[in-house]
Chain A
Amino acid sequence: MLASTLAACGSDGGGVPTLTWYTNPDSGGQAEIAARCTEDAGGRYVIETAVLPREASQQREQLIRRLAANDASIDIMSLDPPFIPEFAEAGFLAPVPEDVAERVTEDVVDSAVEGSTWDDELVAVPFWANTQLLWYRNSVAEAAGLDMTQPVTWDQIVQAAQEQQVQVGVQGIRAEALTVWFNALIESAGGSIIAENSTDPSAIELGLTSEAGVRAAEVMQTIATSGTAGPALSTANEDSTATAFESPEGGFNVNYPFVYPRALAAVEAGTMEASVPEDYGWAIYPRVDADTPAAPPYGGINLGVGAFSQYPDLAYEATECITSTENQAYYFVTNGNPASDTAVYDDPEVLEQFPMAPTIRDSLELAAPRPQTPYYSEVSGGIQRVYHPPSSVDPQETPEAATDLITAVLRKEQLL
């Protein structure tokens, strides 16, 4: 025991740099990719993973506090895109070498490149890209006479759900999920939460009271008060709406692709009838207005290299290995996390396991990131406070109240 400990110490000091990769919790995919890349590196570096908390906001809190203390142990980080500007602006990300930037953005979906960019510069490496689809029950859509091969609007869905007495699953919890939903609504209506961006918090101008902002609030109110959003809209998150979608009341659900493997796993475990996932259909996110394409939510994970890392060059080399087409395909198939690399969507194995992969790719091309600002927590926290519970949203008052609050918070004149 002692000998092996000493040997381990010896090999560490022996010169093979160890890169620590802080990962978000997943089904073990990132740890496996780390092992594969360590092997590929042929002894030039070793990647070790360290798991972060489950919630994206808590991942940010942990990383940012450590980086503020110049933590040199953080080499690679799995970052939720909305927080990337904050990391970049604070100088917590090592600059991406130009050649690396060129290679890692080749054939990558637009939303993922946009999500890795701050101030017109690539500051992170696109890894996997998530988006929400409109999941529906074929039987329900058919009974309601909805043609799902054509784009559908929120109004159509709500009406169909009311007729068929099924639920429309949306995330109304006071958490990041609510901002994701609201952002998709306002972007689909042709607006943005932040109309005029700035690195000076007091100069940021919000677009909540614009026509699109009011329209987004209207849609939110319509859904929340339609009686189709289920009994617990104000606490509904991605998991609970997926659960509701699996139940007999399930009709529609805007949610990430995990909905599908989750149902298949339940069938395998014997807790769900095979007929349930067979009834699943998927389409691009609903439109706000019939003639304007939807802007579905964009999420996922991009890789940042810590500014205080001892081996930034090796770390960037490692990110290229991690985000290789092969590894992204592996991650998609085994963990259900869609790739940012468009080549992955042609992989026959991916297509076999995820028949909705082409829809995911199309959705990623349409997807709009959440507001890109170093003050994202304030903006998102303000939205969550005023637009929650969704049933209280009033298109005449809520956008203005939210604008007042967020502006005051950004000026440090109010608590959040």
Chain B
Amino acid sequence: MTQTTLPPVEKTQPVSAPGGTTSDRSKSERKLGWLLAGPALLVMLLVTAYPIAQAVYDSLFDFRLTDPDNRSFTGLSNYAVILSDWLWWRSLLVTGFITLVTVAVELVLGFALAMVMAKALSTIRPVLRAAILIPYAVITVVSAFAWQFAFDIQTGFVNSWFGWLPGIGEDTDWFGGTWTSLLVICLAEIWKTTPFISLLLLAGLAQVPEVLQEAAKVDGATWWQRMRKVTLPNMKAAIMVALLFRTLDAFRVFDSIFIMTGGANATESVSFLAYRQTISRLEIGLGSAVSVLLFLAVVFIAMSFIKGFKVDLSQSRGEG
């Protein structure tokens, strides 16, 4: 049995455009498109492109917020300082670890939840969807505090509830070591954002044509075969979008680390490093350079996803 997907929708030319020449109508449609998207594009440029350009510019200077008079151009030396510092590479590894673990677990859990939401009886479906989405509605800082309190050695209940598990006791100090701290941080992230991924996957599930499922059933395909050969291939675009969004999101992890460990025990993420240089040390130049490197990392992730999955993003929106 081969993978079964519907053939890609043929790009339809406007009927009034024989011979491939651009007609008045398509011209005006294009114009209307620009008019509609233009303001949003402008706002996007204003709120994203401008700060990014400013950060790139600032990153070339030795600039302390409390000492603006001694600002001096230092070229790429801030980047040299960062890239030759083990702290940067360690933070990158920690960020990569958190991203990998949380996204992988969230994808599996999110898919399961999406299936539950899709297959649930229509009477309980709205309640179920709302219940699954609640963690996503919680502010990240609040969820971080909740998880911190739960695992805290004094106020937490985890040590007494799970004391029967090997390795957990009254005196287990979760935030006292690197791996235990990272575990709680990952758990908090997973709890909080799995609903997001499951919502995106649910949209993908809804796009799988029922005719294909039925055809596969008639052919005698088992549940597992239908899942592998029909459902998943047809959801490729949705999975890609969900993964991409969550990976970019996870890579910028900050709140949970800030609240739970404050970067102690080697749990600093790249965002946290940028915060500490820019906001705590007030070294705008050095901090901007960290932010620019973070931005480049994010661009790299996005590009490799799009190349790696070989999916046209616009397809997931049902465009031609």
Contacts and interface: CB of A to CB of B under 8 A. Distances in A.
Nearest to B172: A231
A61 B279 contact: yes
A57, A235, A413: most-surrounded residue (chain B CB, <10 A):
A235
B32 to A, nearest CB: 42
B62 A416 contact: no
B62 A234 contact: no
Interface stretch (B113-121, B202-210, B229-237, B258-266): B258-266
Interface in A216-275: 231-235, 240, 243-244
B213 interface: no
Contact of B281 (A174, A233, A240, A381): A381
A138 to B, nearest CB: 24
24 contacts: A61-B279, A86-B66, A89-B66, A90-B66, A174-B263, A174-B264, A231-B153, A231-B171, A232-B171, A234-B176, A235-B153, A235-B264, A374-B66, A378-B281, A388-B264, A409-B281, A412-B62, A414-B81, A414-B85, A415-B273, A415-B276, A415-B290, A416-B276, A416-B280
B81 A415 contact: yes
A360 interface: no
Interface string B81-103: 11001011000000000000000
Contacts of B153: 231-232, 235, 240
B280 A235 contact: no
Interface in B231-274: 261-265, 273
B262 to A, nearest CB: 6
Contacts, number: 83
A53 B49 CA distance: 31
Interface size classification for chain A: 20 to 34
Nearest to B283: A412
B82 A231 contact: no
B87 A415 contact: yes
Given A175-B262, A240-B154, A415 B286 contact: yes
Contacts of B280: 57, 61, 377, 381, 416
B282 interface: yes
Contacts of B286: 412, 415
A389 interface: yes
B65 A64 contact: yes
- Identify the interface centre among B81, B176, B265, B277: most chain A CB within 10 Å of its CB: B176
A68 interface: yes
B67 interface: yes
A86 B65 CA distance: 11
Contacts of B277: 415-416
A243 B155 CA distance: 10
A294 to B, nearest CB: 28
A389 B176 contact: yes
Contacts of B264: 173-174, 234-235, 388-389
Interface in A367-399: 374, 377-378, 381, 388-389
A234 B273 contact: no
B175 interface: yes
A389 B62 contact: no
B154 A416 contact: no
